[in-house]
């Protein structure tokens, strides 16, 4: 896919996320890793609903600005996930309401922020890690991501929002949407003793779809 097509896709999918209320105002950011090792990333203080393909930030493989507007302050977060998650080619970070709410609950397991609620949650997101709160743009969040050793493609930043990597931009967007809907389900069912997928059902999904679930290794 050409760089111009990737730029258009970032703007198109960013607008879709914004228009459906998944990241308000100028919150959230998107990046795509290019074949030369560099990145396209949404600029700082940019609304995902009103991105300009020409103004997207172009960084080289070392994170230096090549062209476009100044990058989001969350570049260290994106870089850390790319460095540790070798299959990642795109990353979506949102401030989606239900995922943020989930990240604030005291009972959440940092190794598996959500139980195995649905097949599609496991298929799209795998297990989801929860990392502690860091102020937005704090370089220390990169160390927290690196500490996960690439085992997770979906991560919740406490009191902040989800960060999801995918092999394509579309895959990362779909997985982020699945994470948000599963967080919503969890909040709706909290305290109602819902029926989750059994270990046998999870094992069947792992076998049939070749899933790699970090929670199985911890």
Task: Give the residue numbers marked as catalytic.
Answer: 120
Q: Which two tokens stand for residue 32?
A: 């795509």
In 3D, which of 183, 135, 127 has the Cα closest to residue 158? 135
b (16+ CB within 10 A) / e for 25-35:
ebbbbbbbbbe
User: Could you please report the per-residue DSSP string of 79-112?
Assistant: HHHHHH-TT--EEEE---HHHHHHHT-TT-BTTB
């Amino acid at each position: 896919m050409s760089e111009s097509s990737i730029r258009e896709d970032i703007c198109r999918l960013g607008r879709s996320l914004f228009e459906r209320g998944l990241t308000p105002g100028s919150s959230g950011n998107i990046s795509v890793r290019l074949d030369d090792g560099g990145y396209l990333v949404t600029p700082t203080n940019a609304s995902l609903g009103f991105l300009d393909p020409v103004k997207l930030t172009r960084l080289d493989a070392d994170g230096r600005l090549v062209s476009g507007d100044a990058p989001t302050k969350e570049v260290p977060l994106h870089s850390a996930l790319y460095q540790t998650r070798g299959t990642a080619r795109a990353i979506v970070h949102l401030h989606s309401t239900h995922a943020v709410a989930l990240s604030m609950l005291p009972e959440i397991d940092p190794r598996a922020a959500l139980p195995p609620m649905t097949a599609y949650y496991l298929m799209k997101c795998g297990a989801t890690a929860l990392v502690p709160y860091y102020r937005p743009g704090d370089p220390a969040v990169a160390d927290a991501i690196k500490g996960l050793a690439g085992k997770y493609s979906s991560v919740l930043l406490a009191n902040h929002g989800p960060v999801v990597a995918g092999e394509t931009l579309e895959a990362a967007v779909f997985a982020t949407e699945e994470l948000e809907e599963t967080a919503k389900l969890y909040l709706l069912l909290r305290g109602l003793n819902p029926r989750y997928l059994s270990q046998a059902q999870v094992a069947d999904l792992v076998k049939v779809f070749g899933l790699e679930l970090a929670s199985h290794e911890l």
